[in-house]
Each structure stands twice: as structure tokens, then as C-alpha cells.
Amino acid sequence: MSTQPEKKAKKKSIPRAAMPEQAPEVRRRNFEEVPLGYTREMAMEEASRCLQCKKPACVEGCPVSVDIPGFIKLIKEGDFTGSIRNLWTKNALPAVCGRVCPQEIQCEGQCILAKKGDPVAIGNLERFAADYERAYGTGALPPKAEPTGKKVAVVGSGPSSLTVAGDLIVKGHAVTELEAFHKPGGVLVYGIPEFRLPKEIVAQEINFLERQGAEVQCNAVVGRTVSIDELFEEGYDAVYLGVGAGLPRFLNVPGENLIGILSANEYLTRANLMKAYLFPKVDTPIPRGKNVVVLGAGNVAMDSARTAMRLGADSVKIVYRRSRDEMPARAAEIHHAEEEGIEMFLLTAPTRFTGNDKGRLTGMACLQMELGEPDDSGRRRPVPKEGSEFQMECDLAIIAVGSGANPLLTQSTPDLKLNQWDYIMADPETGKTSKKGVWAGGDIVTGAATVILAMGAGRKAADSIHDYLTWGW
């Protein structure tokens, strides 16, 4: 009989639970949500992969500092109600974040399991907890402090504004959301397509805030129907500006005024908020193309391209002047776009648009590029290849190369300091602006960024507003 000690059996690793999805050949022609969500069993099994680190790096990677090991442990134990309540302490929009946050570069990117394999599917588990509560929850609201008698006006109803509203309500303050459009939700409803973030999800998240006590006023264009100074005259004690950055940018190349060329802002707003894709059931049609090109490679570009495919295009091309490594879109969005048949024309830049005698777009002249030295953004600068010009046929072009600050509000508030790009200057730690009693955060301060970064800015601003209402400026 051997006296040698037996080798300890190696713990079998559990593979990451794949998210069930619509098949590409089916979903490319419908507007239903692509990922189908975890079952209870899948969620609990995926939650069991979490190592429950004593110093969780995933939390450090989350802009709103969600207690990630905590909510995942509760899912593992089958306490789904406890899990969503844990999430609510840090995140007012878990159903949204679970769907659209770039987890691969934030929480999941910091997961220790990612060093040798697949990280815990934090985003999928967050989505599961929120969806389970929506389907089977009690509807009970989290506790909130006694009323303080203070009133806060929150301008805009995108992710940063909703975070501010949720945090301040819990702290006992009265909150009014002022939204310029006819529906609240900001970029969550007009910028992100139905197949990536269903409108019903956003509506239910906003309803949750309303049930907590938030008042939502739509068709309120601050800067036109009411000024910031008038809000103070109406009795508000503080104002938060989360109006986003919705001013479209263009390429400034010849022929850009042809019929059939749209900004991504207009295209997605008409498709999403106006439900133009349902024409003639709704009375706002949307341009449809057979050969569609989308200029840009961020999430907005992917959303535009995938929308065009769902509207019946024969071909959709992403045209981007840098390489795949520089594409700013989420990896999941690029992957889904390619699965749906969208072509990537990388290291390609448009030089002019061409049209027919009726002024309609028929094509686009392009140059092939190569990457040179890094520019101010830190990315390698695209340099044209001599003699590489070629033609690309298209009848619809969507420009998705970023957006700027809408001057509607800032022009009516001269004592708000702006930076060189006309974004509002605000303290990055508090959100305080140059105007007493006024805070700002999200894209109107940073330029276009992610939902979760806007929410992180909202969380800091809410803490600062609460301190101001309690102790003064």
C-alpha cells in the first residue's frame, strides 16, 4: 500500500454562462431585443463563479461603485429580491446598465477571472436581477429619509439626471425632472434602439422614480420655455443640468448637403422616439436605403447600421478611417453587427459625396488610409494612401462621427462658464458649476461618453447637492 499522500483533486472550473440570443438571420429584420436573458438556473450557476474577493477589483472598475460581490452572492443563494435591493443602493438603473454598459472595460475588465479566462458575467447578472424584480417582484420601494422641504430641478432625463433624481429622493428632497421631449429618458429612449434597450425597460425605470416621488414634466425646454434664473424664482433650491450633447457633427466634405445624408442624431431619434420604423402605423416616416453607409465606428454608428439593416437595406457598410483596434464601439456591438451581415470598411475615409440631377445621393468617393503617428487623442493618425481613391455606391449615408453641446440652454445663461468646445465647466468631483446653486454632469460636461460614466457624474453631483442643501455652498 502506498504511503504517499494523495494529490488534491483540481477544482473543476465552471464555464461562463452564454447569454441566449435571437439568431442573427432572424433578428437582422426585427426590432426585438437581441439577448434573451438568463433563466434562474443560469443566473445562479453564473453567480457561483464569483470568487467573492476580499478586495474586489470589479468594484473599483464601476463608476457608481456597485457592491458587485454582494449582489452576485445573493443571486447565488436564490435571494433575487435581496440582490436587486443591494443594487438599488448604488444604481438607480440596473436594467439599463445591465444592457448597455461597457462591462468589458469596466467591472468585468477588472475581474480576477479575466486574467486566465472569462470574467464573471456581471452585466448579465445585473440585468437578470432587475428583470426578475420587474416580472416577479413585490413592487416595494426602498426606504427614504424624511422630507427636508428642499426642492431640486433636474434638467434632462437621461442617465445622469435620473441618477441625481433617484439619489436626492432617497435623501428626502423633492425632485422635478424637466424634459424637453414629449417622453422622458433622454438618450436612453431617443439614442439607443429598441433591439438593444427596449423602451418599456426605460419607462419602467422612470416609473420606479415616479413611484418614489419624482415629478416628471415633459415639453419643458429649459433655456426657452423657462430659464435657470426663473427656476430659482419659482422656489427651487438647486438645479442640476444633465442635458447631454445632442448637437450633431458633420464631416464637412463636398456634397454633404445631398438628399439622403442624415446625422445619426436625426436618424436614431426618428427611429426610436418617433417610432418611424412602424410607418404607416405612425405618421413619421424614416428614409430607407438599399445601399447604406454609416460613417463612424462608435456605439452610435453600430446602432445606426443595425437599424438600417432592420429597415430592409440590401447592404450596410461601416466606414471608418482607423483600424479595428481603434474602433470605440463595444466589442459586443461590433460582434452583433458583423453577425447581422454588416460589412466593415476600415482604414477608409470619404472625400466627397456624389448625386444625380435631382440632388439625391448616389455614391461616395473614398481614400484608403494607413496609420501614422499618434494625434492629440492618443490614437494613431490616419494618413491617406496616394492614388488609392475608389467609389462606393450608396443611396443613404448616416453621419455618426460624434456630437457637440447644444447651445440652447447655455446661451440663455451667460454666467455659466464654458470650455473651448462650449461644454459646461464643472468640478469633476462635485459637479459644481460657476453659477451658485447649479450643478452639471454627463455629456454636457465631458462630451459624448457612456451611460455609466454619466451616472457616476450624477452620483457625485447628488452628494454635493445634498451637502449644499444641508450646510450651504
pLDDT tens-place string over residues 145-178: 999 999 999 999 999 999 999 999 999 999 999 9
* Spatial contact of 248 and 399, defined as CB atoms under 8 Å apart: yes
Banded pLDDT at 446 (limits 50, 70, 90): very high
Average pLDDT over residues 453-466: 94
Q: Decide: pTM greater than 0.75.
A: yes
Which pLDDT belongs to residue 9? 47
How far, rounded to the nearest angstrom, does the alpha carbon of residue 296 sit from its chain's CA centroid? 17
Q: Averaged over 389-408, what is the pLDDT?
A: 93
Cα angle vertex 320, ends 316, 325, to 5°? 115
Output the nine-digit C-alpha cell for 207. Answer: 416609473
In this prediction, residue 373 carries a pLDDT of 86
362 burial via Cβ count (<10 Å: 0-12, 13-18, 19+): middle
Identify the helix (H) or strand (E) that includes residue 304.
helix 299-310
> What band does 14 get if pLDDT is binned at 50, 70 and 90?
confident
d(CA 283, CA 269): 14
Class of 250-401 in CATH: alpha beta
Tens of pLDDT along 275-303? 888 888 888 889 999 999 999 999 999 99
Over residues 258-278, the mean pLDDT reads 92
- Give the homologous superfamily in CATH for domain 24-136: Alpha-helical ferredoxin (1.10.1060.10)
CATH 2.60.120.20 is the classification of domain 151-246+404-471: no
Omega prior to 280 cis, within 30 of 0 = yes
Residue 180: the pLDDT is 93
Q: What pLDDT sits at residue 376?
A: 79
Quote the pLDDT of residue 273: 86
Same fold, 24-136 and 250-401: no
For residue 4, the model assigns a pLDDT of 57
DSSP state of 472: -
Please indicate whether residue 71 or residue 473 has the higher confidence score (pLDDT): 71
With contact defined as beta carbons under 8 Å apart, do 382 and 370 qualify?
A: yes
Domain range annotation of the chain? 24-136, 151-246+404-471, 250-401
